Amino acid sequence: MRRLPHDNGAVMLTAEHGVAPGNAPLAHTARPVQGAAVIKDLWYKNAIIYSLNVGTYMDSNADGIGDFEGLARRLDYLHGLGITCLWLGPFQKSPRRDDGYDISDFYQVDPCFGTLGDFVDFTNQAKQRGIRVMIDLVVNHTSDQHPWFQEARRDPASKYRDFYVWSDRKPQNADEGMVFPGVQKTTWTRDPVAGRYYFHRFYDFQPDLNTENPLVLAEIRKIMGFWLELGVCGFRMDAMPFVIQTKGADRKQRERYALLREFREFLQWRRGDSIILAEANVEPKNSMHYFGDDGDRLQMMFNFWVNQRVFFALATGDTRPLVKALEQTRDHPATAQWGHFLRNHDELDLGRLTETQRAQVFEALGPDRDMQLYGRGIRRRLAPMLRGDRRRLEMAYSLMFSLPGTPVIRYGDELGMGDDLALRERDCARTPMQWSTEPHAGFTRAEKAVLPVIENGPYGFRKVNAADQRRDAESLLNWTERMIRMRKEVPEIGWGSFQPLETGHPGVLALRYDWRNNAVVVVHNLTGEVAEIQLRSVDDRGRQLINLLTQDHSRANGRGLHTIVMEPYGYHWYRAGGLGYLLERSSE
């Protein structure tokens, strides 16, 4: 069994002050890989992922809806920002009652976004810039308008009948297990045409596919194979735990983890460097089932467990539950990776905090009822949650970039975009990208945009937009670009092993990363107060800390202690070791 950590990456750095010193002794904190070396070109280990929806990014033909041609025109912006991989929300044919997570044809681009030709043109243009494209794979369910479901409900003899999950009567537990409680009333709805009940984990217009049916699995493989041929590098797999669960009236639910290996094998046979990034909000004790003990299942998972405790720390200034969560999710195969994020396209789900913790986050970050959703989450964007406080925003982003894994940014957060709570459910955080001060923020030349652009208040597009921010060296956009550059130059975080360092202050988190004879230390002050901390250097190299952001370096005293003064919401990134080290290539 091969587990973290590892010393096996391919990435090396360009020399600049403080970057990757080489000839230091092997850090004793880095545990070497057991057995054969891991393949060194796992691109997702040091990637910068950016998530967006085609429909709200850039409209090229003035119909008010973003499209692939518009997105293609914005690739230089994304390239300039430094992102290396895009994750696109669903864009296949769909009635769009759940922002496209209700697909009615898996093999078509919804005409409102363009054609398959536009899609391939876009993936090719992304490739020219070294940007990979990952897409959502939504196969837990289809739209009720999908021809499979239409056929299934009409004809009991159709092969599609068994594509879905049916029951003659309403199961006893039908009113349990809704994913959108409060909005969704049940998980079993009677279809008048079939005269039977069908199972839907999500809304009633999203009937669940029966993934125990080999024909359904064959279709899932076909869908993956199709999009791989068109240039994608992998899939963000929607609702993964539900995809692999046994489904059916009064049946005991069981996860069929073996399916994960099948998906992966198929993917890697068709395209060796393609990956699955799973949406699986599961407890840490179950995550290894998803990664597989030998790294033979999924390459990536979002770390929801850590995400919720990051927000707890942002809300309360207490980093202890976060440190614990990092420890609890430490274990993963050497080839696997966590995806870390702040906000995503859904509500900030706080369902895995204790009731008291959740109440504290609600109170600090989303006190009003209409800021909350499904009784467990907050639907606001990051910037308004942090009251637009630039210090807190930078610290939150810096923290996310320095968590053990790969960062996933949400479009518009690089500008500090806000939300529109007048929009329903999660739409409030899905408003069009704010490009400029032109009408509709330069997103569209149409009279009306698909979702209204934020016009007024501190987050209105006249105040928050990309065009203004790119001219301002100190803008959040340019800050983010610099952070991304630095994050890429610190591959220890994506590839290495971490250890929390004792700071003696619950509000200050210090993490040290070791990888390939290099080490970095990142320190974050989650509180609004100045905090003086002491850090003990783990080894000789740790006695000298080179600040990667300022000239404020630190040398340990005779007892090996650093005294560091953290500004309110301060963040420091240090490389351990002196200046003037030579870069060292990997010792194979």
Footprint of Ca ion (CB under 5 A): 59, 61, 63, 65, 67
User: In this complex, which beta carbon is closest to ligand NOJ, that of residue 332 or of residue 345?
Assistant: 345
User: In this complex, which beta carbon is closest to Ca ion, that of residue 23 or of residue 61?
Assistant: 61
Q: How far apart are CA 314 and CA 565, in angstroms?
A: 19
Q: How far apart are CA 261 and CA 259, in angstroms?
A: 5
Q: Which entry of ligand NOJ, Ca ion, none binds 98, CB below 5 to 8 A by partner kind? A: ligand NOJ
> How many residues would you count in the chain?
588
User: In this complex, which beta carbon is closest to ligand NOJ, that of residue 184 or of residue 328?
Assistant: 184
Q: How far apart are CA 519 and CA 516, in angstroms?
A: 8
Dihedral of the CA atoms 473, 476, 477, 481 (nearest 10)? 80
Q: How far apart are CA 396 and CA 319, in angstroms?
A: 12
Contact positions with ligand NOJ (CB under 6 A) in 46-75: none
Alpha helix positions (H), 114-271: 116-128, 147-154, 214-229, 240-243, 258-270
Exactly one of 7, 59, 67, 98 binds ligand NOJ (CB under 6 A); that residue is 98
User: In this complex, which beta carbon is closest to ligand NOJ, that of residue 7 or of residue 255?
Assistant: 255
Binding mask 99-118 for ligand NOJ (x = CB under 6 A): --x-----------------
Binding mask 273-312 for ligand NOJ (x = CB under 6 A): ------x---------------------------------
Binding mask 121-140 for ligand NOJ (x = CB under 6 A): -----------------x--
Tell whether residue 451 is a contact of ligand NOJ (CB under 6 A).
no
Q: In the Cβ-directed half-sphere of 59, how many Cα atoms lie within 13 Å?
A: 26
CB 492 within 8 A of CB 513: yes
Q: Give me the least distance between CB of 413 and Ca ion, in Å please.
A: 23
Tell whether residue 235 is a contact of ligand NOJ (CB under 6 A).
no
Q: Which entry of ligand NOJ, Ca ion, none binds 253, CB below 5 to 8 A by partner kind? A: none
User: In this complex, which beta carbon is closest to ligand NOJ, that of residue 241 or of residue 496?
Assistant: 241
Sequence-distant (≥ 6) Cβ neighbours of residue 180 within 8 angstroms: 202, 203, 374, 425
Q: How far apart are CA 259 and CA 336, in angstroms?
A: 17
With CB under 6 A, what is the number of residues at the site for ligand NOJ? 9
Q: Give me the least distance between CB of 418 and Ca ion, in Å please.
A: 24
User: In this complex, which beta carbon is closest to ligand NOJ, that of residue 85 or of residue 138?
Assistant: 138
Exactly one of 105, 191, 212, 346 binds ligand NOJ (CB under 6 A); that residue is 346
DSSP annotation of 195 reads T
CB 325 within 8 A of CB 304: no
> What pairing do the DSSP bridges indicate for beta strands 92-93 and 105-109?
antiparallel
Q: Give me the least distance between CB of 68 and Ca ion, in Å please.
A: 9
Identify each DSSP E strand in 46-95 by its residue range.
49-52, 85-88, 92-93
In the complex, which residue's CB is closest to ligand NOJ? Answer: 101
Please give the positions annotated as active site.
Answer: 238, 279
Tell whether residue 202 is a contact of ligand NOJ (CB under 6 A).
yes
Q: How far apart are CA 291 and CA 299, in angstroms?
A: 7
Q: Give me the least distance between CB of 96 and ligand NOJ, in Å please.
A: 12
Tell whether residue 466 is a contact of ligand NOJ (CB under 6 A).
no
> What pairing do the DSSP bridges indicate for beta strands 377-378 and 406-410?
unpaired
Q: Which entry of ligand NOJ, Ca ion, none binds 61, CB below 5 to 8 A by partner kind? A: Ca ion
Tell whether residue 581 is a contact of ligand NOJ (CB under 6 A).
no
Q: Give me the least distance between CB of 482 and ligand NOJ, in Å please.
A: 30
DSSP annotation of 446 reads S
Q: Give me the least distance between CB of 148 and ligand NOJ, in Å please.
A: 16
User: In this complex, which beta carbon is closest to Ca ion, that of residue 65 or of residue 322?
Assistant: 65
Tell whether residue 237 is a contact of ligand NOJ (CB under 6 A).
no
Q: How far apart are CA 489 and CA 268, in angstroms?
A: 28
Q: Which entry of Ca ion, ligand NOJ, none binds 7, CB below 5 to 8 A by partner kind? A: none
Q: Give me the least distance between CB of 58 and Ca ion, in Å please.
A: 9
Tell whether residue 331 is a contact of ligand NOJ (CB under 6 A).
no
Tell whether residue 239 is a contact of ligand NOJ (CB under 6 A).
yes
Q: Give me the least distance between CB of 349 and ligand NOJ, in Å please.
A: 10
Q: Which entry of Ca ion, ligand NOJ, none binds 492, CB below 5 to 8 A by partner kind? A: none
Q: Which entry of ligand NOJ, Ca ion, none binds 63, CB below 5 to 8 A by partner kind? A: Ca ion
Burial class (CB in 10 A: 0-12, 13-18, 19+), 115: middle
User: In this complex, which beta carbon is closest to ligand NOJ, that of residue 185 or of residue 387?
Assistant: 185
Sequence-distant (≥ 6) Cβ neighbours of residue 474 within 8 angstroms: none
Amino acid, res. 378: I
Q: Give me the least distance between CB of 51 and ligand NOJ, in Å please.
A: 10
Burial class (CB in 10 A: 0-12, 13-18, 19+), 10: middle
User: In this complex, which beta carbon is closest to ligand NOJ, that of residue 451 or of residue 531?
Assistant: 451
Q: How far apart are CA 55 and CA 379, in angstroms?
A: 20
CB 101 within 8 A of CB 138: yes
Dihedral of the CA atoms 480, 408, 142, 420 (nearest 10)? -40
- Cis? peptide before 192, omega within 30° of 0: no
Q: Which entry of Ca ion, ligand NOJ, none binds 67, CB below 5 to 8 A by partner kind? A: Ca ion
Radius of gyration of the chain (CA): 24
User: In this complex, which beta carbon is closest to ligand NOJ, that of residue 30 or of residue 209?
Assistant: 209
Partners of residue 518 on adjacent β-strands = 515
Identify each DSSP E strand in 295-343 by its residue range.
300-302, 337-341
**Where along the sequence are the contacts to ligand NOJ (CB under 6 A)?**
98, 101, 138, 202, 238-239, 279, 345-346
